[in-house]
């Protein structure tokens, strides 16, 4: 069943390839700069909801010269208000499948990361950008608004003031400024983002699964709770994580001198 869904997603332009425990997801619509049609959004949803059991981390990247040009503007038909809400909500479901799925997701960025492409990148857990990357929110100049969760997720990366400026003025950030401001956590040479993202994903795949789960599902929720509630949720999550046999084994290995020390960077 899952394989049929993945095959269909591939036919719609979202391919999945397993590299060990890392699911490498590729947007394959380079002629249209990986613009996100309704079919592509549905395929992203289906892939992330049906990752193979063996996947312990995932990477998403785009084929061609750009990560993603955002919403497919050729599909921006006359929608009435109700249809518009449902269209936006369909993006929310797809990008929630990325953010709140089973495994951490790393975005490997290059070229344009604009509009809905930036919304997609911001639903991932880590972003690696190469030096060709640029970030923009052209929605403002096109007379529309973000609709793929960007108004919730992008301010968490770079703040409300910066997002407001980008949408009001059409401001574009380059790769160096993007890393400095928090769009990406890693900046690498041209053409190296995918390799770096797979390297990080491979490392993440070797973490205790419950730690990865806590970071994906508990941390962002704790961050939105009042401090008193956050402390309680943290205590519950910490207790659950440390009671897992894998945590006990890892701590024992360190105490017996069998696990790596933290090295000065
Ligand atoms: C597209 C799209 C698209 C390219 N929808 N077809 N996003 C934008 O406003 C960004 C619009 N795109 C661009 O500014 C540029 O295309 C890029 C900077 C991304 C890339 O430039 P370039 O010179 O490499 O490519 P190109 O020649 O502009 O585009 C190649 C083809 O892709 C061309 O089609 P062709 O049939 O003439 O070959 C373009 O029309 C097509 N193409 N981008 C449709 N976005 C949930 S709400 C989210 C709201 C938004 O995302 S709004 C922001 C939309």
User: Which pLDDT value is given to residue 129?
Assistant: 98
| Digit-coded pLDDT (tens) for 129-186 | 999 999 999 998 999 999 999 999 999 999 999 999 999 999 999 999 999 999 999 9
User: Which pLDDT value is given to residue 77?
Assistant: 76
For ligand 1, atom 25: residue with the closest CA: 33
Nearest atom in ligand 1 to 91's CA: 46
| Digit-coded pLDDT (tens) for 77-133 | 778 899 999 999 999 999 999 999 999 999 999 999 999 999 999 999 999 999 999
Per residue, the 3-state secondary structure of 63-79, as one string, reads: CCCCCECCECHHHCCCC
| Digit-coded pLDDT (tens) for 182-225 | 999 999 999 999 999 999 999 999 999 999 999 999 999 999 99
User: Which pLDDT value is given to residue 88?
Assistant: 97
Q: Is 87 in the pocket of ligand 1 (CB under 6 A)?
A: no
User: Which pLDDT value is given to residue 224?
Assistant: 96
> For the residues 34-61, what does the mean pLDDT come to?
98
User: Which pLDDT value is given to residue 79?
Assistant: 84
**Is the pLDDT score of 36 beyond 90?**
yes
Q: Is 138 in the pocket of ligand 1 (CB under 6 A)?
A: yes
User: Which pLDDT value is given to residue 45?
Assistant: 98
**Is the pLDDT score of 76 beyond 90?**
no
Q: Which of the four pLDDT bands, split at 50, 70 and 90, describes residue 239? A: very high
User: Which pLDDT value is given to residue 1?
Assistant: 60
User: Which pLDDT value is given to residue 192?
Assistant: 98
The pTM of the full predicted model, rounded to 2 decimals, is 0.97
Options 53, 75, 139, 224, the catalytic residue: 139
User: Which pLDDT value is given to residue 153?
Assistant: 98
| Digit-coded pLDDT (tens) for 13-32 | 999 999 999 999 999 999 99
Nearest atom in ligand 1 to 70's CA: 51
Q: Assess whether 199 carries a catalytic annotation.
A: no
CA of 114 to the centre of ligand 1 (A): 9
């Amino acid at each position: 069943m899952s394989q049929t869904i993945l095959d269909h997603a591939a036919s719609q332009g979202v391919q999945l390839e397993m590299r060990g425990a890392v699911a490498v997801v590729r947007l394959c619509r380079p002629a249209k700069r990986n613009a996100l049609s309704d079919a592509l959004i549905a395929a992203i949803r289906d892939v992330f909801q049906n990752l193979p059991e063996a996947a312990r981390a995932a990477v998403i990247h785009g084929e061609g010269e750009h990560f993603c040009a955002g919403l497919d503007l050729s599909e921006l038909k006359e929608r009435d208000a109700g249809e518009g809400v449902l269209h936006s909500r369909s993006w929310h479901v797809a990008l929630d499948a990325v953010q709140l799925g089973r495994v951490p997701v790393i975005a490997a960025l290059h070229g344009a990361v604009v509009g809905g492409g930036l919304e997609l990148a911001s639903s991932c857990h880590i972003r690696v950008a190469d030096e060709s990357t640029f970030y923009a929110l052209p929605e403002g100049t096109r007379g529309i608004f973000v609709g793929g969760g960007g108004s919730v997720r992008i301010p968490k990366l770079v703040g409300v003031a910066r997002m407001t400026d980008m949408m009001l003025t059409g401001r574009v950030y380059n790769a160096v400024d993007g890393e400095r401001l928090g769009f990406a956590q890693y900046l690498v040479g041209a053409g190296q983002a995918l390799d770096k993202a797979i390297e990080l994903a491979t490392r993440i795949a070797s973490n205790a699964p419950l730690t990865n789960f806590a970071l994906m599902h508990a941390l962002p929720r704790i961050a939105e709770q009042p401090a008193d509630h956050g402390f309680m949720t943290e205590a519950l999550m910490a207790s659950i994580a440390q009671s897992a046999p894998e945590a006990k084994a890892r701590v024992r290995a360190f105490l017996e001198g069998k696990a790596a020390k933290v090295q000065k960077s």
